[in-house]
Structure 1
Amino acid sequence: MFYFRLALPIMSLIFIAIPAAQAQDQSPVTSIVESWIASPHGDRTSEAFVHWNEDGAVPQDCATCHSGPGLMDFLGADGSLAGKVDAPAPTGSPIDCVACHNKSAAELEQITFPSGVVMTEASPSAICMVCHQGRASSDSVNAAIAGADDDSINGELGFINVHYAASAATMFGGAVRGGYQYDGKTYAERFAHVPDFNTCTTCHDPHTTKVVAIDQCSTCHQGAETVRDIRITPADIDGDGDTKEGIRAEIESLHEKLGEAVMVYAKEVSGKAIVYDAHAYPYFFNDLNENGAADPDEAKFPNRYQSWTPRLLRAAYNYQFLAKEHGAYAHNPRYAIQLAYDSLEDLSSKAAVDMAGMTRP
């Protein structure tokens, strides 16, 4: 049997059982459902949807993006007030068909980002942006460090995590301040691509989330064998002398150098060695043996890094922003480069950070 959960015009739900043989005759629907089940949005076994199983419910602060019913609650598609979640959501409920295919989602055009900036998106991408925007911004960091000396350890500071895959914040760039934006600098705003590939759902299959085939990109980006090989500038961004590598490689190199600079600054200025682990909260820890690696006994919450200065926190925030935004090279490469470059430049004012040959677009 195949079971399909459908949204009816009156917004009630019904489960329809279709015999397997009959389902074969409905290949378009079957294909879509199978694509969704295999996607991150439909993987009910993933950490994104099982994290709260022991608690018995997904808390209101997390329910919008970690539960189908929670997303409908936020949209007001369940009859509630839109813009907030009214109650914890059930566990084991991924982002299903009806969570995105409903009247409220179709009419959504105004997206409020963590900075408080409201952007208009009159396309099916609006529903994607509800969740893929992060949970922090320049404003969050500035509020935490207000009035503090840039290079003095502040015991009240803790790491500020943007959360995961803040793709919409990257795409809108400087307009929504998703990354940490330094005073006196200008930042690229929305990345304007060609009209046919300028929204989430024109570059990603909306059900699998996979990127469109490269042959649709190679008409303009000739010579690129993969999306990651595409290059948008002749400038040597990372200063390594290679002006042929894809822009993704340039960003990755700059990001790696930023990670190294964070460690140099922490040791030279804060006086406490720091190390990063992408899979352990809160990501930055004391490097007890100073070997530059997050050892199992170090990547634990009690050993979290607590020797933050405002300058170090700003750079670490941007490091994490780029670490969790794997598609920044496509969503807004100039913005990604600017965040990394400016973080390096800021750290270099107080620590031995080599930026020879680097270029800021």
Structure 2
Amino acid sequence: MVVSAGLALLVAGGAVLAQTTSDTATEAEGDAVVPFALPKSGPFAPSEINIENDQAITDWFRSAHANAAAEAFSHWDDEGAINAACATCHSGEGFRDFHGLDGTEAGVVDGTIDVGGVVDCGTCHNAGLAEISEVTFPSGLVHPVQGVEASCLTCHQGRSAGVDVKEAIADLPTDETNPELRFINPHYATAAATWLGGYGAAGYHYDGQDYSGRFFHARPVASCNSCHEPHTLEVEFEPCLTCHQANSPEDIRIARQSYDGSGDTSVGIRSDIMANADTLLEMIEAYTNDVAGAPVIYDGTRYPYFFADANGDAAIDMADGKPVAYNSWTPRSLRAAFNWKLVTADPGNYAHNPQYSLELLYDTIEDLSAPLGIDMEELDLLR
């Protein structure tokens, strides 16, 4: 009886132990992170698998933010890691590191950021974004943000501002070449910098001039996501038709006057901005040739974009098989090139802040007109 009782107790205990272990395993399975959306049993067809937010994921996967093969994300592949200065915006991991969303110190990328990352879901869908209340711009401006605005304004603000140009050319003779000067690149896709206008001070501001501030569109269009579908990144044009009669965003125009001297107000304001940008680039080239005595050639496909043409043969100078970067900048040409690049670096400048873009172009053209002997009245431009 004692043995039987002992066996019974042992069996009972074993049963309890087995049940407890089974329950624990079940709970562990329930808490486990499942890396793929798979049904519990098959056979099955992929189309039958229900994936939450599948359309949003599909849209994102086809967007520029997810294109891992693009230069914006593959530039560092041979190096094996992304430079800390670039990682904030060229990797979701770097973005979270910079803002301290991964538990590290905010305001700096202090870890090694591996290549292969993109602007992933966690860049914009992170609960920690609610804790980010401000973003600092290259000009030194500290701008308040809410939620996902932090992602957009962090990565579309550019890398430099007019204050950097002012510092570089301070106290230097305006029209004398200086081999120590180097092109200052505002960077790319600078939508946030354009949007904040003179308030954000992204451009080189000429003394004595006032600049339009942040562009306030009629409500409810008040944020990046008001116009851009957040996953495809495409502009949702249909809401524009509520107020604008146009065939595309590029065709929208409110101004009744011509800014580029053409007198044509039947085209979108983008046309005026691009025409003045073309005029400015031509004047930069004329200035480097006629005033500085050192012709420059612009090539937008390779950094640093402005290259030397010492013999004036319209071909970029080469040394050791590499193009020679332009190193005959004067303070006047350097600030002109910076403003031109800033305006043209934002393909949506006509929507983000057309007035600020036109002001920067006009003032820069006017600055170059004097040494070139060009009459601004004959150009018939408007600021």
TM-score, length basis structure 1: 0.90
Structure 1 residue 165 and structure 2 residue 186: aligned?
A: no
2:109 aligned counterpart, secondary structure: coil
Partners of 2:205 and 2:183 lie apart in 1 by 17
Structure 1 residue 348 and structure 2 residue 372: aligned?
A: no
Which residues of 2 match residues 228-243 of structure 1 at below 5 A?
Answer: 228-243=250-265
Q: Which runs of 5+ in 2 are unaligned?
A: 1-30, 39-43
Judge conservation of contact 2:194–2:352 (CA < 8 Å) in 1. Answer: yes
Partners of 2:291 and 2:216 lie apart in 1 by 40
2:284 paired residue number: 262
Deviations 1:79-117 (A, max 9, x none): 111111112301001111012211222332301001111
Partners of 2:154 and 2:32 lie apart in 1 by 23
Read off the aligned partner of 1:171 and give its amino acid letter: W
TM-score, length basis structure 2: 0.85
1:177 paired residue number: 201
Of 107, 113, 117 in structure 2, the residue corresponding to residue 89 of structure 1 is: 113
Aligned length: 345
What is the Cα deviation at residue 290 of structure 1? Answer: 3.6
Structure 1 residue 225 and structure 2 residue 247: aligned?
A: yes
1:259 aligned counterpart, secondary structure: helix
Partners of 2:312 and 2:346 lie apart in 1 by 27
Partners of 1:239 and 1:94 lie apart in 2 by 43
Task: Mark the CA change 1:74 to 1:304 in structure 2 (over 3 Å): closer, same or farther.
Answer: same
Judge conservation of contact 1:264–1:353 (CA < 8 Å) in 2. Answer: no
Judge conservation of contact 2:257–2:263 (CA < 8 Å) in 1. Answer: no
1:18 aligned counterpart, secondary structure: coil
2:264 aligned counterpart, secondary structure: coil
What is the Cα deviation at residue 317 of structure 1? Answer: 0.4
Deviations 1:303-336 (A, max 9, x none): 1111100000000001111221111110000000
Task: Mark the CA change 1:76 to 1:250 in structure 2 (over 3 Å): closer, same or farther.
Answer: same
Deviations 1:162-204 (A, max 9, x none): 0101111110011121111111111111000022211111110
Partners of 1:327 and 1:321 lie apart in 2 by 12
Which residues of 2 match residues 296-315 of structure 1 at below 5 A?
Answer: 302-315=323-336
Partners of 1:358 and 1:26 lie apart in 2 by 58
Deviations 1:13-39 (A, max 9, x none): 955311484665646611111111111
Judge conservation of contact 2:123–2:151 (CA < 8 Å) in 1. Answer: no
Structure 1 residue 116 and structure 2 residue 140: aligned?
A: yes
1:16 paired residue number: 35
2:346 paired residue number: 325
1:155 paired residue number: 179
Deviations 1:280-303 (A, max 9, x none): 1100012356465x66969x8641
Read off the aligned partner of 1:108 and give its amino acid letter: I
Partners of 1:189 and 1:330 lie apart in 2 by 14
What is the Cα deviation at residue 124 of structure 1? Answer: 2.8
1:357 paired residue number: 380
Judge conservation of contact 1:167–1:328 (CA < 8 Å) in 2. Answer: yes
Read off the aligned partner of 1:235 and give its amino acid letter: Q
Structure 1, 14-23 or 30-39: larger mean CA deviation: 14-23
Task: Mark the CA change 1:13 to 1:23 in structure 2 (over 3 Å): closer, same or farther.
Answer: farther
Judge conservation of contact 1:23–1:30 (CA < 8 Å) in 2. Answer: no
Which residues of 2 match residues 37-186 of structure 1 at below 5 A?
Answer: 37-122=61-146, 124-186=148-210
1:17 aligned counterpart, secondary structure: coil
Partners of 1:109 and 1:89 lie apart in 2 by 25
1:278 paired residue number: 300
1:249 paired residue number: 271
Deviations 1:106-145 (A, max 9, x none): 3323010011110112353222111100000011001101
What is the Cα deviation at residue 235 of structure 1? Answer: 1.3
What is the Cα deviation at residue 228 of structure 1? Answer: 0.3
Structure 1 residue 202 and structure 2 residue 226: aligned?
A: yes
What is the Cα deviation at residue 155 of structure 1? Answer: 1.3
Partners of 2:182 and 2:93 lie apart in 1 by 32
Judge conservation of contact 1:110–1:119 (CA < 8 Å) in 2. Answer: yes
Q: Which runs of 5+ in 1 are unaligned?
A: 1-11
Cα RMSD after superposing both structures? 2.1
1:4 paired residue number: none
Partners of 1:338 and 1:165 lie apart in 2 by 19
Task: Mark the CA change 1:94 to 1:260 in structure 2 (over 3 Å): closer, same or farther.
Answer: same
Partners of 1:179 and 1:14 lie apart in 2 by 47
Q: Could you tell me the percent identity over the aligned residues? A: 43
What is the Cα deviation at residue 217 of structure 1? Answer: 0.4
